[in-house]
Amino acid sequence: MWGAVIIFTAILPVVGCSIIWAPAGVIMLITGHFWKGVIILAIGVFVISMVDHFLRPILIGKNVQMHPLMVFLSTFGGLSSFGFSGFIIGPIIASLLLAIWAMYEEFYLGTLSSE
């Protein structure tokens, strides 16, 4: 169950998965399960965070000109509008909207202000 929750929190821009594995590791340490807590925290820091920091630019792209919050909101908008496939469709529609907006500004903004 917590793996599924981590998948959904991975799209959060800054904190992402750490809002799940960090409290889980600390809770394990507090409840007396020292080695389990250390393993959760070590895997969280050295595996989950590193994979997230190295794979996110590769999967999303280094030159995506969308703010991470825009990606986050468009993902949830896509999920609510299109279901599970909206996880991909939402950010694509948002990036197309931003591209059309940029083209509109480039091509038509000069002609509207000169009239």
pLDDT (tens digit, 9 = 90+) per residue, 56-100? 666 665 666 777 778 878 888 888 888 878 877 888 888 888 888
pTM of the model: 0.52
Single-letter residue type at 95: S
The pair of structure tokens assigned to 87 is 């996880």
- Tell whether 108 and 86 lie within a shared domain: yes
Considering the domain architecture, whether residues 56 and 98 belong to the same structural domain is answered as: no
SS3 label, residue 91: helix
Quote the number of domains for the chain.
2
Closest C-alpha to 92, from 111, 79, 75: 75
What residues make up the domain containing 47? 1-61
Last residue of a domain, one of 41, 61, 81: 61
> Tokens at residue 61, please?
């792209």
Q: Are 17 and 6 in contact (CB under 8 A)?
A: yes
* 12 and 53 fall within a common domain: yes
86 shares a domain with 74: yes
Q: Does 20 share its domain with 35?
A: yes
* Amino acid type, 26: V
Amino acid at the residue 86: G
